[in-house]
Structures are given as structure tokens and as C-alpha cells.
Structure 1
Amino acid sequence: MYGKLLTTPQAANVLGVSIAFLERDRWAGARVPFIKIGSRAVRYRLQDLEKYIESCIRKSTSDTGRK
């Protein structure tokens, strides 16, 4: 139903970013959706990462993505 859950290093690899980027993102308010399991385990769903990637598509450098 949910598919395989990815660890932070695996998610960073999918997105092509550093582990530190995802750690900072979670601390700053999480633009990239994640799942918290228990008190410490953080996981990412591949479909959420794919949606995030789609939301980042821009047509120019001045395109903010807001309507």
C-alpha cells in the first residue's frame, strides 16, 4: 500500500541532494514530506519524493512557482 520506505541517505540519493540538506529541511519546516516512526526513525515515501520533484519544476529562474 505505502511501498518501501526510504532512509534519509536513500532519499538524498533519489533527490540528488546531501543528507544535511534533508536534515536542515526537516528542522526548518519540511518542504520535503517525511514520516516519523517512533521517536527517532525518519523515513520517506518514494511517491512523496516524486511529488516534491514535480512541485520544483520551473520554466525560468524568475519563476517562483507561486500563482
Structure 2
Amino acid sequence: MTDELLTAIQVRDAYGISPQTLANHRWRGTGPAYVKISPSKYGRVRYRRSAIEQWLDACTRQVTV
């Protein structure tokens, strides 16, 4: 099975993370790994489903009392 490539809209629909939030994280270098599928400055960006899930796992915090 291949690792599905998702657009920012598909990420929003599946995980509730807005495309602007993803863009902000890309700019800061703090977001999930992404694939740039065209070479221009405004090239198309895709996210591997596994990269989104790994990033969300890394952001998950558990409060202990």
C-alpha cells in the first residue's frame, strides 16, 4: 500500500487543520514534513498521511497530576 499524498484541503477535511495553519508551520519550519511537487516558489505542496499523523503524535501532550 502506498502512503497517500494529501492536499492542504484534504488535510483540513480529514484532520481539521486549516491550509493557512499548515502554511504558517511550513514557513516557520515547525510543521509536518511535506512534498513540493513542482519547483517554483509557489509550487504545489502535498503531505503524506503518515507525516501528518507523526507530526500530530509529536504534538500530543499528556497532562499528569
Q: Secondary structure at the match of 1:51?
A: helix
Structure 2 letter corresponding to 1:49: I
The structural deviation recorded for 1:28 is 1.5
Q: Provide the rounded CA distance (Å) in 2 between the counterparts of 1:6 and 1:41.
A: 11
User: What CA deviation, in whole Å up to 9, does each residue of 1:4-63 have, x standing for no partner?
Assistant: 210111123333121110111111114211111122110000011111111111112xxx
Gaps of 5+ in 2: none
The TM-score normalised by the length of structure 1 is 0.74
Match of 2:22 in 1: 22
Gaps of 5+ in 1: 61-67
Aligned residue pairs, count = 61
The one of 44, 47, 65 equivalent to 1:44 is 47
Stretches (4+) displaced over 4 A: none
The structural deviation recorded for 1:3 is 2.2
Match of 1:6 in 2: 6
The TM-score normalised by the length of structure 2 is 0.75
8 A Cα contact 1:2 1:45, kept in partner = no
Structure 1 letter corresponding to 2:56: I
8 A Cα contact 1:34 1:43, kept in partner = yes
Q: Secondary structure at the match of 1:44?
A: strand
Cα RMSD (Å): 1.9
